[in-house]
Amino acid sequence: MIPRYSRPEMARIWEPENRFRIWFEIEAHACDAQAELGVIPHAAAKAVWERGQFEVARIEEIERETRHDVIAFLTNLAEHVGPEARFVHQGMTSSDVLDTCLAVQLVQTTDLLLAGLDRLLNALETRAKEHQATLCIGRSHGIHAEPTTFGLKLASHHAAFARARKRLVAAREEVGTCAISGAVGTFATIDPYVEEYVAKQMGLTPEPISTQIIPRDRHAAFFTTLGTIASSIENLATEIRHLQRTEVREAEEYFEEGQKGSSAMPHKRNPILSENLTGLARIVRSAVTPALENVTLWHERDISHSSVERVTAPDATIALDFALHRLAGTIEKLLVYPDTMKANLDRLGGLVYSQRVLLALTQAGVAREDAYRLVQRNAMKVWNEGADFLSLLQQDEEVTAALDPDALAACFDPSFHTQHVGTIFARVFKHERV
């Protein structure tokens, strides 16, 4: 992933230093287990831990010759460990190291992603509670429908990201397995105990059955989960973009002092972070189809998945991590304009209370068809002539025959629409995080 969309914490996971560090730990722990089993001398395992070192540059130098990264690593390791190095990697295949390492890396990325989600969840909860009672218009199809609150909007996104978090925890469990099973996964040359031991040390679970490699449906489940989270990001980013558009302007991305929306047009404040998030969501999702195609491998394994993962595993996790923090920051500092929300709510001259009037008339004994007709003929005047809906109703004798002016006015009370906000908030924010 390009630096522009990378946070160093996440990028670091995919750098050679971290990869070789994990390789080292896998090999060293495997030596301990092999020593315990009596397969190799205890002194050898000890030597690996004590003298084991590596240098990225040296490994790369050796790899240019051998064209095999694991051999290059082992060679460099041996330069430090000395003769005992011959006991390292015994009975293992490169895949044992590579796939288990990828599992560790994916678990590490997931921990960062969960932290990003938590920051976002906190931001959404804080801002939702701040605006629990901030009235605004609810819109279906982009058209004013009925009142809601800005807090409810944010709470619905909180619920989406709480679900995302739960899925991500499950996805971490899916990919967090350790396979040390030798050629074609039969354990012919290495005891299953080694796998169990290394798994435990590396914070993974043993892969019940591997075919030299960890099965790729696990990774497909992981990357589709990232893709689904990306879509929830796009959903919230789209909401912000809508709220910021000139004609709506109920909220705005925070605008840094001195920031220029446009060199040519000094009045511009553009929701560029949210637009950027929309694009980042597409990038994260672009890992989904290749991950699904990677599941099908020939017989016990082929290597067609490898190039895909070298590219998409870092790209998707780094982009999603970056997006989560960008979105969290956007929500934390979002400028919210309750006055504009109120003004927009009233923009249709009270029409948004039409259902309420309809119900009141029905409850007052007017037949539903008649009530609909009465409401609609006044609503149409508002729509076409821009009049005030309440005043028109109060002047319509057929209407006032059923409901007196005060009763009519009571229908225009937005608090009717927010009576259950507390209940919904209690549902959404009772969550406990895993």
Residues 22-61 that bind a copy of itself (CB under 8 A): none
Q: How far is the CB of 54 from a copy of itself (least distance, A)?
A: 18
| Binders of a copy of itself in range 89-118 (CB under 8 A) | 91, 93-94
Asked if residue 372 binds a copy of itself (CB under 8 A), the reply is yes
Distance CA 229, CA 172 (A): 14
Asked if residue 170 binds a copy of itself (CB under 8 A), the reply is yes
Please identify, using beta-carbon distances, which residue of 203 and 261 lies nearer to a copy of itself.
Answer: 261
Q: Which of 112, 114, 159, 198 binds a copy of itself (CB under 8 A)?
A: 159
Residue 350: name the closest of 307, 384, 382 by CA. 382
| Binders of a copy of itself in range 172-191 (CB under 8 A) | 174, 183-189, 191
Tokens for 142, please give them: 């982009």
Q: Which of 290, 329, 338, 405 binds a copy of itself (CB under 8 A)?
A: 290
Tokens for 354, please give them: 């039409």
Asked if residue 151 binds a copy of itself (CB under 8 A), the reply is no
CB 308, CB 342: distance < 8 Å: no
Please identify, using beta-carbon distances, which residue of 28 and 345 lies nearer to a copy of itself.
Answer: 345
Relative orientation angle of helices 94-130 and 304-332, to the nearest 10 degrees: 20
Sign of CA dihedral 155, 158, 160, 166: negative
Which one of the spans 23-31, 105-113, 373-381, 398-406 is the region binding a copy of itself (CB under 8 A)? Answer: 373-381
Relative orientation angle of helices 192-201 and 16-36, to the nearest 10 degrees: 130
Tokens for 278, please give them: 């929309």
Which one of the spans 15-23, 49-57, 114-122, 292-300 is the region binding a copy of itself (CB under 8 A)? Answer: 292-300
Strands 205-206 and 177-178: parallel
Distance CA 156, CA 232 (A): 11
- Other CB atoms within 10 A of residue 108 CB: 20
Binding mask 192-231 toward a copy of itself (x if CB under 8 A, else -) reads x-------------x-xxxxx--x-xx-xx--xx-xx-xx
Asked if residue 384 binds a copy of itself (CB under 8 A), the reply is no
- How many binding residues for a copy of itself (CB under 8 A)? 149
Asked if residue 320 binds a copy of itself (CB under 8 A), the reply is no
